[in-house]
A and B are shown apart, each in its own frame.
Chain A
Amino acid sequence: MDVGGAVAAAKGPVPSPAVEAVAPPHVERLNPVVEQQLHLESVKIRALALYKAVSHILEDLDAFARSNSTIKWRDALGQFSMVSMQLFNIVEDIKNVSKAFVIFPRNINAENATVLPVMLSSKLFPEMEAEDIAKREQLLYGISGHPVHIQIEKLKARIDMIGAACEAAETVISDCRKTYGLGSHPGSTLVPTLDKVQAAKIQEQENLLRAAVNLGEGLRIPFDQRQLPTSLPSHLADVLSFGDGAQNLADNSGSCEKNTPAFSSTREVLQMLQTPGGQLIGRSVPSPSNATAFDNPSTPPMAYANSPRSDPNIMNTPSPQQQAQRQQQQRQKIMQLTHQQQLLLQQQLRQSSITGVLGQRSISQLHDITGQTQQKLQQIAGQHQMSYSHPMLQQQFQNGQLQTSHMSYNILQNQINQGGQHRNNINQLGSSSNALFSAAQASPNSQMISSMSASMQSQSRLPRMQFGLTGGHLQRNHPSQVFNDQMFGMSPSNPVNMLAMQQQQQGGFRNMSTNAHDLQPGMVNLPNTIQNPNFPQQQQNQQ
């Protein structure tokens, strides 16, 4: 309205001189100075441009409202700021010369009839007037009675105080912004840097942590300190039992290890015979109590721990030559096995996972066997029982070639009856052997017998040697095929047999050589035989 009024006023005199030019009466002209100041044409042009801009914005807003799309506020606000700037400039220009004009409404109609009095009035609205008076009272409270110049001074002092307070607040705000990194302009924040010492310390710690978590460095306990604590945490208490803990530590220094009895027990037995006292043989068994599950790294790895080796090529792996050289030493060292080691070994064998290995046989049979042996063996030096036989059974069962239960029974009988070199030790186990034999009699099952033989073997190494002796005899007396079956039926003892025979250094070995050769194809035929592949070759080496 202001613009309209000003323009109307500006336009007013413009047409009138034009009209006046037509008519001769006196013409009202603007004061030429005022006219120059006013720049009527430019104001008009600017006013028109402003009008167009505003109407354009209004159209856009209308379209947004109708289409319900989100307005790009940045653009809209930019346009609005431009428009408002233009308006401000126009009004400023006219203000300079507005004093020269008196505005009166030229065109009153219904539209502006109610508004014009308000626009033209120089008096405030009653509410605004009341508000004004109240504020003035508040301002001049206490000094209204003074003369005016004093009032002025006091008001000025107040203004100065307020100004000072504002400046102080500004500085505080800027300081806080700097401290907390909230600077309004980029680059105003100070990035806290670590000093080098601190950074180095952190780097070192980080390397330590990463190495420990990813690689395990810094966490390995020295082997001499690895003793199982007497009180295990609850989650380990039933997992590890006392006597197991020392066995499974990554070292070759004579700690026992558990073996999967499926086939490793065979090797374990062999290895115990071969390598007491911590010597690493080609089978990599350092000591009798340290029998490792696998030997000879060149043998192909198993699909899983208890899978029998069905690959015939297994038999062709070269045998470690050292075994032959050390058997004499081994025999002596076996005799020196400590009670503790035997205990541990037996514990290992006993605690093998039965169900995983067996799956085909009733465990009750096996338990019977072991139960009987347990009763007997408990009389002997308190040795523990082993369920070592069970995996052996699986092999043998799977073989399906155990046809000569009688033969094995006879073998066992022979073994027991033979004096051998270690008769005193045999006698110790004689009672247990009798138990096994009685069990065998009760169920003349080849499985039972082989399991008995297996459990017999597992009890100590000495009877195994006896088995070996018997095996040697057997080979001489029976056809190779039967012999093969027998050997496989006593597969856990096979390596022992071989060794025992070797150790005896008797003429019977000659037969062994031929039989050993027969063994090879025979052994290959058995799908589930877990044989020490080196034995036949050992024989060859021996003889």
Chain B
Amino acid sequence: MECVVQGIIETQHVEALQILLQGLCGVPKDRVRVHEFCLKSGPNLGVVPSEVRLLCDLAQPTPTWTVRHAGGAMRGAGAEQLSVLVRSVVESKVSNNALRFFYAVGYKLDHELLKIGFAFRFQRVVPITVTVTSANRMPRLHAIDDAVPLTPGIQLVEITAPAAGDNYNEVAAAVSSFCEYLVPLLHLSKPGVSTGIVPTAAAAASSLLSNSGGKAI
């Protein structure tokens, strides 16, 4: 399981966000360049179509593949009170045969996406990963070099933390409390819930970027 929140930030403030995260996390940032394949099962693979994502990490010297399946979100009154989305997730490293394997099984490529950005992975009660990426689409199949940003002015910020069935409350609380630190720059919410940008983000960003390090209110 994982707890996840998403938010958007204007591309012009991404650098300020990076500085803020650097200060909060204390770890160097990791480059993110992931080619994501979203595979959907055909109607003959079961009554309910399932979706599997294959992530190819191109930032490494040799591309590494990960298969990931995200289940439905937790529902109920308790889930609605949480400010994060809790959903079941199965993730595993796989060899580069995975794509061919899934094709052979009967999955078909639904869409593909290239995510370019950076990520911070650190520990704050629980291991938290903050990813800031711009989503790029490919005009032709697998044409990575021709990828163009889907929304040039806006990038996606995603904060995830792994959780288990018995501790997801603590994990949700940890993620929420970390999100409080990012309030000057962006609003975070459950995926699917639109948030908008923070109007005063410009001021906060400028103060973060200024050398004197003046405090932003």
Contacts and interface: CB of A to CB of B under 8 A. Distances in A.
Interface of A: 180-182, 189, 191-194, 199, 202-203, 205-210, 212-214, 216, 218-221, 225-229, 232-236, 238-240, 244-245, 247-251, 257-260, 264, 283-284, 292-297, 301, 305, 348, 351-353, 356
Given A235-B96, A250-B109, A202 B141 contact: no
14 contacts: A209-B135, A210-B191, A212-B113, A213-B135, A216-B113, A218-B137, A219-B150, A225-B140, A228-B141, A228-B142, A240-B142, A258-B103, A305-B101, A305-B105
A210 B197 CA distance: 13
Given A226-B141, A227-B140, A305-B104, 5 more contacts: A202-B196, A209-B151, A240-B100, A248-B108, A294-B42
A206 B141 contact: no
B137 A219 contact: yes
B192 A214 contact: yes
Nearest to A246: B141
B15 interface: no
Contacts of B196: 199, 202-203, 206
A210 B190 CA distance: 11
Contact of B143 (A229, A239, A250): A229
> Which one of B35, B104, B145, B194 has the highest number of Cβ atoms from chain A below 10 Å of its Cβ?
B104
A214 to B, nearest CB: 5
Contact of A238 (B96, B104, B138): B96
Contacts of A191: 199-200
B30 to A, nearest CB: 18
Contacts of B137: 212, 218-219
From DSSP, what is the main secondary structure of chain A's interface residues? loop
Given A194-B199, A210-B191, A250-B110, A239 B43 contact: no
Chain B contact-residue range equals: 35 or more
> Which one of B99, B105, B143 has the highest number of Cβ atoms from chain A below 10 Å of its Cβ?
B105
A356 B98 CA distance: 12
B203 interface: yes
B43 A210 contact: no
B29 to A, nearest CB: 20
Nearest to A202: B197
B140 A192 contact: no
Contacts of A247: 103
B141 A221 contact: yes
Contacts of A225: 140-141
Contacts of B214: 182
A260 B103 CA distance: 9
Contacts of B151: 205-206, 208-209
B110 A301 contact: no
A218 B111 CA distance: 9
Contact of B43 (A245, A248, A284): A284
A92 B150 CA distance: 75
B56 interface: yes
B4 to A, nearest CB: 10
A207 B194 contact: yes
Given A212-B135, A219-B137, A235-B58, A257 B111 contact: no
B8 interface: yes
Nearest to B139: A221
Interface string B140-154: 111111000011011
B100 A258 contact: yes
A293 B108 contact: no
A257 B106 contact: yes
Contacts of A259: 104, 106
B203 A210 contact: no
Interface in B190-211: 191-192, 194-197, 199-200, 202-203
Interface stretch (B16-24, B44-52, B120-128, B161-169): B44-52
Contacts of A203: 194, 196
A208 B150 contact: yes
A130 to B, nearest CB: 40
Contacts of A284: 42-44
A249 B217 contact: no
A293 B104 CA distance: 7
Contact of B112 (A213, A219, A296): A219
B6 interface: yes
B24 to A, nearest CB: 22
